[in-house]
Amino acid sequence: MDKLLQINNGECIERSHIPRVSPELFYRQLNQFVRNGGFVVQFFAYPENKQMIQLAVLRSSNLYILETAVTREYPSLTRSAGAKFNLFEREMAEQYGLRPAGHPWLKMLRYHANTSDRPDVFNNTYSEDIPGNYPYFQIQGESIHEVAVGPVHAGIIEPGHFRFQCAGEEVLHLEIQLGYQHRGVERMLRTVPHKRLISLCENIAGDTTIGHGLCCCQAIEALTGLIVARGASTVRTIAFELERLANHIGDLGALSGDVAFNPPAAYFGRIRGEFLNLLLQLSGNRFGKGLLRPGGVGYVMAAEQRQTIANKLKELRPEIQHVCDLLFTAHTVLARFEDTGTVSREIAHDLGLVGVCGRASGLEYDVREFFPTERYQDLPGLSNQVSHGDVYSRAMARYEDIVHSLDLIELLLAEEEQGYPAAALNEHEYQLAPSSCVVTLNEGWRGELSHCVLTDEQGQIARYKVKDPSFHNWPGLAMALRNQGISDFPLCNKSFNLSYCGFDL
Amino acid sequence: MQSVLSLILAFLLIPLLPGIILKTKALFTGKKGPPLLIKYYTLIKLLRKGSVYSTSTTFVFALGPLISCTTAAMALLFFPIAWVKPVLSFQGDIIVLLYLFGLGRFFTIAAALDTASPFEGMGAAREAFFSTLSEITLFGVLILFFRMNGSLSLGGYFAGPAPLSFAGTEAALLVLVVVGLFMVLLAENSRVPVDDPTTHLELTMIHEAMILDHSGPDLALIELGAYCKLFFYAAFVACLLKPPHLNLGFVSATLLFYGLIFLVYAAIGITESVTARLKMPKVAKYLLTSFALVFFAIILTSMELIQ
């Protein structure tokens, strides 16, 4: 009965081992799994010999994989099993023209023509500018007014369109329409020489360079059988945590700035720079571009850099502590953070929120603990203390993450030195294992990142699927705004701080 | 002569003063901050630019900045700057004055609504609501001052035969008034904790949201009007803070006055550095608190009269 195949994070499996079941069984299994509290990691389609295959990667405390052949239409799981499938099904409809029958909210995600010869699901011709034929949800009534924000914003943020239905100051509904930065990353990843995969992945979302880079490296390593030295793995882990630190600290500063509490905003802004500079020390780039390479790291971490990082952390830790104390003890700040933009545990679970936002709502899920990669199995896990699901919880979850990351880096630096070798420069094209599949997961600073790579008989990439945590969390922001003041939107938005380009791909 | 002199001096100094707030805030955040003369540069920059008008706006849109600036500047004609008799003064001028501000606000709101932008309408609604509430406090102050010194003109309050000062039993009441007025000052001039003048987030703005579509000289007028209004309120508070039984010449009075003004602006900067903004629904409570303070003072004067 239970056909799900259990897999490991970053394990290369033969595609013939993936259980391919009948559609009826497939949808029943997925439905059952998610109704029993499971989550969706990946759910995408790919073409194979003129037919379409749907592949699902699910997680409970283990990872499972399952696939089925699908024709033009299939019964919507969003309708039968819930919102965890919502965006995945819309994505498939957009990418391959597969219609989820009975989907309650079938709208485009990124506005591009599908790559099959099936008719467009959204009746778009793509001759108009984005969003084309997009029916916004509207509430009718005398006292309802509609506010449209973006895609061009006043601050230095990425483009996205927000449509509010308000009664006075109260938001009744928020609709988020993205796609302005769609670049066709997944298609491009399929066509480039394998040597360039890592460079492309590092640029999927600039603030998650290390995160997406790590997922890509682990996938290539699984498919080529490259072994990463322990020292190189340590450097990767340190870089991954530095990226987390820089972004979380930047977020806390931005949250503070949004409620017009300037001192922490200024201090955190500087401290964020310090962490970016540590990445610069490691790789020559403030976002860590060029550091991760399949098989290890691109640069040696010398004793000098190791010392610099250790010294800097010792210097910054009390500073971070002080500024966080300043932020979290200011009662005017707490008055703004508390009970603002609350996402209950129930809703967070239904939507399948991940990362900081999920933990802030009480979903204890951290890839570093559940499916550890690199050095994480040797390191202690994180447990969040605050889980009310409001802006305060999300800020607090970041703070706890920051302290945890500092601990992890210090633990790694305190280890006896065994050398941190750089990966051998690969001048040849990587030979990927043919007809294989690998799923990699990592806990990016926003949450669960996942790449899934399928190769064909020649060892070429048949499908490269990228999933940024923002893909799970954008609906969370929309829910957080229900019955909130519209003036609190920027604060809620900042507390989620989701990626537009990571979503738009 | 002295009245005209101090008025001219005030107009020259008005754009300098907001620089003090910026410097104070910079001090708290460990930054250097913009130069003190930044607002002069801003005005010059804006005046040299052209204005852009949306095709959907009418003459009302252009009228907004003009009227809000003139009314704010006119208010200073009635103000006893540095306790010198004002240029214009008559019994009841303070009521005219408050409505002059009201007129300026009306046209700012009308101009905002004229653009038909969702942000500006939202900003206008907030401004209209919150200024109604701060008006209650201001009229409370008028009632109180009328009871205390029998005058209904600004000149009468500070440059008349029996000026208000921190002498005698009145002092305690004036403390309440100073606090109440300072709260209204922050609200009326779109400062933290009610509004955030530096925010770029349209959805959270109050005053700024209403002027998003103005540009060039129009924006310069709005800015200048805002500086005048802020100066008016700051001067009101500063005048109340004069130490009692002090007979000063014109020069020393002017120096003392600007010293006090400096303190008020610095206090605004400090407030903005140590508090976050209020949640929008809490602003009404904040403004009513200022009214409660003033109302308490009024009750106290009544009790004095009964005795």
Residue A355: pLDDT over 80? yes
Give the burial class of B282: count Cβ atoms within 10 A of its Cβ; 0-12 exposed, 13-18 middle, 19 or more buried: middle
Residues of A in contact with B192 (CB under 8 A): 260
- Contact yes or no for A147 and B203 at CB 8 A: yes
Would you say A136 and A148 are in contact if contact means Cβ atoms under 8 Å apart? no
Would you say B183 and B118 are in contact if contact means Cβ atoms under 8 Å apart? no
- Contact yes or no for A333 and B276 at CB 8 A: yes
Pseudo-torsion of CA B187, B189, B193, B194, nearest 10°? 50
Q: How far apart are CA B25 and CA B33, in angstroms?
A: 8
User: How close B116 gets to chain A, by Cα (Å)?
Assistant: 11
* DSSP per-residue codes, B60-117: HHHHHHHHHHHHHHHHHHTS-GGGPPPSS--TTHHHHHHHHHHHHHHHHHHHHHHTT-
Residues in A whose CB is inside 8 Å of some CB of B read 145-149, 154-155, 169, 256, 258-263, 265-267, 330, 332-333, 335-336, 340, 485-491
A332: nearest CB among B28, B198, B276: B276
- Contact yes or no for B204 and A155 at CB 8 A: no
Shortest CA distance from B274: residue in chain A: A261
- Contact yes or no for A260 and B281 at CB 8 A: no
- Contact yes or no for B202 and A487 at CB 8 A: no
Assign A417 to helix, strand or coil: coil
Among residues of chain A, what percentage have pLDDT more than 70?
A: 99
pLDDT digits (tens, 9 = 90+) for A46-95: 998 889 999 999 999 999 999 999 988 899 999 999 899 999 999 999 99
Assign B2 to helix, strand or coil: helix
Assign A309 to helix, strand or coil: helix
Mean pLDDT, chain B, as a whole number? 90
Whether the ω angle into residue A151 lies within 30 degrees of 0, i.e. cis, is yes
Among residues of chain A, what percentage have pLDDT more than 90?
A: 70
- Contact yes or no for B280 and A485 at CB 8 A: yes
- Contact yes or no for B119 and A147 at CB 8 A: yes
pLDDT digits (tens, 9 = 90+) for A295-354: 888 888 888 888 999 999 999 999 999 999 999 999 999 999 999 999 999 999 999 999
pLDDT digits (tens, 9 = 90+) for B147-205: 888 888 988 888 888 788 777 777 888 899 999 999 999 999 989 899 888 888 888 88
Mutate to test the interface with B, among A143, A262, A326 (most CBs of B within 10 A): A262
Quick one: pLDDT band at residue B225, thresholds 50, 70, 90? Answer: very high
DSSP state of A184: -
pLDDT digits (tens, 9 = 90+) for B103-135: 999 999 999 999 988 888 889 999 999 999 999
Q: What are phi and psi of A5, to 5 degrees?
A: -100, 125
B 55-114 near A (Cβ less than 8 A)? none
Quick one: pLDDT band at residue A230, thresholds 50, 70, 90? Answer: confident
The predicted pLDDT at position A246 comes to 95
Mutate to test the interface with A, among B28, B279, B282, B286 (most CBs of A within 10 A): B279
> Does B243 lie at the interface with A, CB-CB under 8 angstroms?
no
> Does B273 lie at the interface with A, CB-CB under 8 angstroms?
yes
Mean pLDDT, chain A, as a whole number? 91
Q: How far apart are CA A230 and CA A420, in angstroms?
A: 8
> Does B1 lie at the interface with A, CB-CB under 8 angstroms?
no
* DSSP per-residue codes, B194-212: T--TT---GGG-SHHHHTT
Domains and CATH numbers, chain A: 5-101 (no CATH), 185-504 (1.10.645.10)
The predicted pLDDT at position A424 comes to 67
Give the burial class of B139: count Cβ atoms within 10 A of its Cβ; 0-12 exposed, 13-18 middle, 19 or more buried: middle
Shortest CA distance from B25: residue in chain A: A262
The predicted pLDDT at position B304 comes to 65
Buried b or exposed e, range B203-230, using 16+ CB within 10 angstroms = bbbbbbbbbbbbebbbbbbbbbbbbbbb
- Contact yes or no for A262 and B280 at CB 8 A: no
pLDDT digits (tens, 9 = 90+) for B37-58: 999 999 999 999 998 998 889 9
Residue A425: pLDDT over 70? no
The predicted pLDDT at position A1 comes to 46
The predicted pLDDT at position A427 comes to 67
Helix axis angle, B170-188 to B250-274, nearest 10°: 60
The predicted pLDDT at position A100 comes to 92
Predicted structure pTM score: 0.92
User: How close B276 gets to chain A, by Cα (Å)?
Assistant: 5
DSSP state of B215: -
Q: Please state, in angstroms and as integers, the Cα–Cα distance from residue A437 to each residue in A432, A433, A434, following that order.
A: 10, 9, 9
- Contact yes or no for B31 and A266 at CB 8 A: yes
A32: which 2 tokens?
Answer: 């059952």
Q: Please state, in angstroms and as integers, the Cα–Cα distance from residue B202 to each residue in A155, A447, A489, B115, B118, following that order.
A: 10, 29, 10, 15, 10
User: How close B281 gets to chain A, by Cα (Å)?
Assistant: 8
B289: which 2 tokens?
Answer: 């608190």
Assign A33 to helix, strand or coil: helix
> Does B29 lie at the interface with A, CB-CB under 8 angstroms?
yes
Q: How far apart are CA B71 and CA B275, in angstroms?
A: 31
Q: Please state, in angstroms and as integers, the Cα–Cα distance from residue A221 to each residue in A237, A308, A394, following that order.
A: 16, 30, 34
Q: ipTM > 0.90?
A: no
- The residue extents of the domains of chain B are 2-306
Residues of A in contact with B199 (CB under 8 A): 258, 260
Among residues of chain B, what percentage have pLDDT more than 70?
A: 98
Would you say A341 and A391 are in contact if contact means Cβ atoms under 8 Å apart? yes
Would you say A289 and A209 are in contact if contact means Cβ atoms under 8 Å apart? yes
Average pLDDT (B281-291) is: 93
> Does B28 lie at the interface with A, CB-CB under 8 angstroms?
yes
Average pLDDT (A401-423) is: 85
The predicted pLDDT at position A328 comes to 93
* DSSP per-residue codes, A198-211: HHHHHTSSGGGHHH
Give the burial class of B146: count Cβ atoms within 10 A of its Cβ; 0-12 exposed, 13-18 middle, 19 or more buried: middle
Residues of B in contact with A169 (CB under 8 A): 122, 280-281
User: How close B280 gets to chain A, by Cα (Å)?
Assistant: 7
Q: What are phi and psi of A445, to 5 degrees?
A: -65, -25
